[in-house]
């Protein structure tokens, strides 16, 4: 049984706050990068920003599409695109990450009582092939 009282499950975070860490293969880093989810044809589905990222996937805070519903279903496969800032003493660049993902969890925004308010949704995606993001 988990000792985690946060309701967020047994996720390993880089700050060490975790329970059930044996479930995770990759350490999550709390980083916010602008992100775009696209369908297999490259058509944009949703924009948002990462809440956290690991070599195995990321959690996305998705923005609302004006007048639209977020029509992604769990297990749907799509593409994710985001840029990771990299720098050395003399240079700065954005490393583009574009990879296939599978939606593993979708939590719609709400009012706390289970009613959808049209607010953002949290989307947990798993990279189909693990990435070497070198974020630590």
Q: pLDDT digit string (tens) for 102-132?
A: 999 998 774 444 444 444 789 999 999 999 9
Asked if the structure places residue 21 within a domain, the reply is no
Asked if the structure places residue 27 within a domain, the reply is no
Q: Give residue 121's pLDDT.
A: 86
Looking at the 3D structure of the chain, how many domains does it have?
Answer: 1
Asked if the structure places residue 86 within a domain, the reply is yes
Nearest C-alpha neighbor of 13 from the set 59, 82, 75, 80: 59
User: Which domain CATH number covers 47?
Assistant: 2.40.10
Q: What is the mean pLDDT of the chain?
A: 79
Asked if the structure places residue 108 within a domain, the reply is yes
Asked if the structure places residue 3 within a domain, the reply is no
Tell me the mean pLDDT in the region 15-44.
79
Full residue range of the structural domain in which residue 109 is found: 32-127
Q: Please, which pLDDT band fits residue 96 given cuts at 50, 70 and 90?
A: very high
Asked if the structure places residue 6 within a domain, the reply is no
Q: Comparing 65 with 79, which gets the higher pLDDT?
A: 79
pLDDT for 23 beyond 60: yes
Query: Rounded to an integer, what distance in angstroms lies between the CA atom of residue 21 and that of residue 17?
Result: 10
């Amino acid at each position: 049984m988990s000792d985690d009282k946060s309701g967020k499950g047994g996720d390993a975070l880089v700050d060490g706050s975790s329970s059930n860490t044996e479930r995770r293969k990759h350490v999550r880093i709390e980083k916010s990068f602008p992100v775009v989810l696209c369908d297999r044809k490259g058509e944009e589905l949703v924009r948002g920003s990462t809440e956290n990222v690991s070599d195995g996937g990321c959690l996305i805070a998705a923005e609302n599409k004006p007048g639209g519903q977020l029509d992604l279903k769990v297990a749907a496969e799509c593409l994710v695109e985001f840029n990771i800032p990299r720098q050395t003493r003399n240079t700065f660049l954005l490393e583009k990450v574009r990879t296939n993902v599978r939606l593993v969890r979708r939590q719609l925004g709400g009012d706390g009582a289970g009613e959808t308010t049209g607010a953002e949704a949290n989307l947990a995606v798993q990279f189909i092939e693990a990435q070497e993001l070198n974020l630590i």
